[in-house]
């Protein structure tokens, strides 16, 4: 006999209380337990959502406190009109987010760039003619840019390049503007803004060029970076050759200066590694030199692409010069921080030779087999034993046997203390640009100035 028939036998047809008691477990207890389990599951989700929203609001409030201007209202959509001290009036129309973040005007430099939170800053540009000094351009709105002029790149700009470079003045400082051309598509715009955020998130470092701000609400989209007077280190080294001794900007290089500048670049590289960021583009072309001879590591484009487009191990192989790449990269194996150490050794070679390409006697396609046979970078005539020993410790075939970053910095500091600071390095052979491109392994023209 089934349980249902048993219950029917125990309870009369009109005895409701008896029937409820008999079916209490199936009708009341089980649904109650299921409801309780649902509430227990839902409650932590609500708490987590509340905590995330609270952290976001606190972050927005901290972000608000880093800038110089404040707004009084918190409406979601409004128009603002500002009167400038010089009598100009400039209208901004935009939507304000639900957070307490205020509206950034012109160029501000918060610790983290939100591409959607910045406003347009009109820019008038006067193109600089080739082989002539840039002439001042029309003034922009108060608080913006002045003396904007096109910057002549170090090398030929690829035809598909979407970024223009300009020199300008901002807040009585010389700056470089990376301007995205208005012909750029949506993907290129996203890449441009993403790179600005990536550089901002790296934070400040004394030997990485300072990102001063961005204009990103409406075109032209602009990154504003401090200008370093001598520009890229490779061009600086070429000017230091013997044929340019009488140039307007003498730039004598000594072994002591090599150790000093190399130590600065190594400090920046150590900082990037501490943030789990592999540079992947170390070379004289990616180092900028200030008027006080300070060296700052730049060329962060490949590092950004690697972070956003994680793919095959050799993903940057077609973007960078093979003669600067570590053997594991040439072989298609994953890149590591020790790969940057290899490239740093090549940078030292460039500095002591005043801009000679590495492995000049080899084709780029022959380099991997050359290194597999146990060959290595030869000692330049102008290189001391102490400096060459550092180059060799950086360019060991086995990544694990290369010098560590901390040990490298220690060696550079020790070398700086004992290095010759009076004897100026000279290279008698003049630079032939076409020969350099061929010996460096360029397959096509490459622009050092564009990141």
| pTM of the entire predicted model | 0.67
CATH 1.10.510.10 is right for the domain spanning 231-440:
yes
User: Is CATH 3.40.50.620 correct for 110-226?
Assistant: no
> 165: closest CA among 451, 435, 356?
451
Q: Is residue 405 predicted with pLDDT exceeding 90?
A: yes
Q: How confident is the model at residue 32 (pLDDT cuts 50, 70, 90)?
A: confident
**CATH 3.30.200.20: which residues of the chain?**
110-226
Tokens representing 12 are 């009369």
In the chain, list all ranges with CATH 1.10.510.10: 231-440
- All residues at 6 or more sequence positions from 156 whose CB lies less than 8 Å from its CB, including other chains: 445, 446, 447
Residue with tokens 């002549």: 152
**Best-predicted range by mean pLDDT (151-155, 206-210, 308-312):** 206-210
pLDDT digit string, tens, across residues 242-286: 655 555 556 789 999 999 999 999 999 999 999 999 999 999 999
Looking at per-residue pLDDT, the higher value among 352 and 165 belongs to 352
Q: What is the mean pLDDT of residues 160-189?
A: 86
For residue 254, what pLDDT is reported? 94
């Amino acid at each position: 006999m089934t349980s249902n028939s048993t219950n029917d036998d125990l309870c009369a047809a009109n005895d409701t209380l008896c029937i409820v008691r008999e079916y209490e477990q199936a009708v009341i207890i089980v649904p109650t337990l299921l409801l309780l389990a649902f509430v227990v599951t839902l409650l932590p989700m609500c708490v987590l959502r509340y905590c995330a929203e609270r952290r976001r609001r606190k972050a927005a409030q901290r972000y608000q406190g880093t800038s110089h201007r404040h707004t009084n209202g918190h409406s979601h959509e409004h128009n603002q009109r500002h009167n400038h001290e010089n009598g100009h009036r400039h209208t901004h129309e935009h939507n304000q987010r639900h957070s307490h973040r205020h509206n950034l005007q012109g160029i501000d430099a918060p610790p983290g760039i939100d591409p959607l939170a910045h406003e347009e800053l009109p820019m008038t540009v006067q193109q600089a003619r080739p082989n002539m000094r840039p002439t001042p351009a029309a003034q922009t709105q108060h608080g913006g840019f002045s003396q904007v002029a096109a910057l002549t790149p170090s090398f030929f700009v690829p035809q598909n390049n979407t970024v223009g470079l300009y020199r300008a003045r901002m807040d009585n400082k010389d700056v470089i503007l990376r301007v995205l051309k208005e012909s750029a598509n949506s993907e290129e715009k996203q890449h441009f803004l993403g790179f600005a955020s990536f550089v901002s998130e790296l934070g400040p470092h004394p030997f990485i060029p300072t990102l001063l701000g961005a204009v990103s609400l409406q075109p032209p989209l602009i990154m504003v970076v401090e200008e370093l007077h001598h520009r890229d280190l490779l061009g600086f080294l070429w000017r230091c050759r013997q044929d340019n001794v009488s140039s307007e900007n003498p730039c004598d290089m000594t072994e002591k200066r090599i150790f000093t500048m190399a130590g600065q670049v190594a400090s920046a590289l150590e900082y990037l590694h501490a943030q789990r960021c592999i540079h992947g583009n170390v070379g004289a072309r990616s180092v900028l030199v200030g008027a006080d001879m300070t060296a700052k590591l730049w060329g962060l484009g490949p590092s950004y692409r690697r972070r956003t487009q994680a793919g095959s191990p050799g993903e940057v192989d077609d973007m960078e010069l093979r003669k600067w790449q570590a053997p594991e990269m040439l072989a298609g194996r994953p890149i590591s921080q020790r790969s940057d150490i290899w490239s740093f050794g090549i940078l030292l070679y460039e500095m002591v030779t005043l801009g000679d390409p590495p492995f000049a006697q080899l084709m780029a396609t022959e380099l991997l087999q050359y290194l597999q046979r146990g060959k290595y970078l030869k000692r330049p005539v102008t290189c001391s034993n102490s400096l060459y020993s550092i180059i060799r410790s950086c360019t060991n075939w086995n990544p694990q046997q290369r010098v560590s970053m901390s040990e490298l910095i220690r060696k550079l500091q020790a070398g700086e203390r004992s290095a010759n600071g009076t004897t100026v390095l000279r290279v008698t052979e003049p630079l032939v640009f076409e020969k350099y491109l061929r010996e460096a392994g360029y397959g096509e023209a490459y622009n050092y100035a564009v990141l």
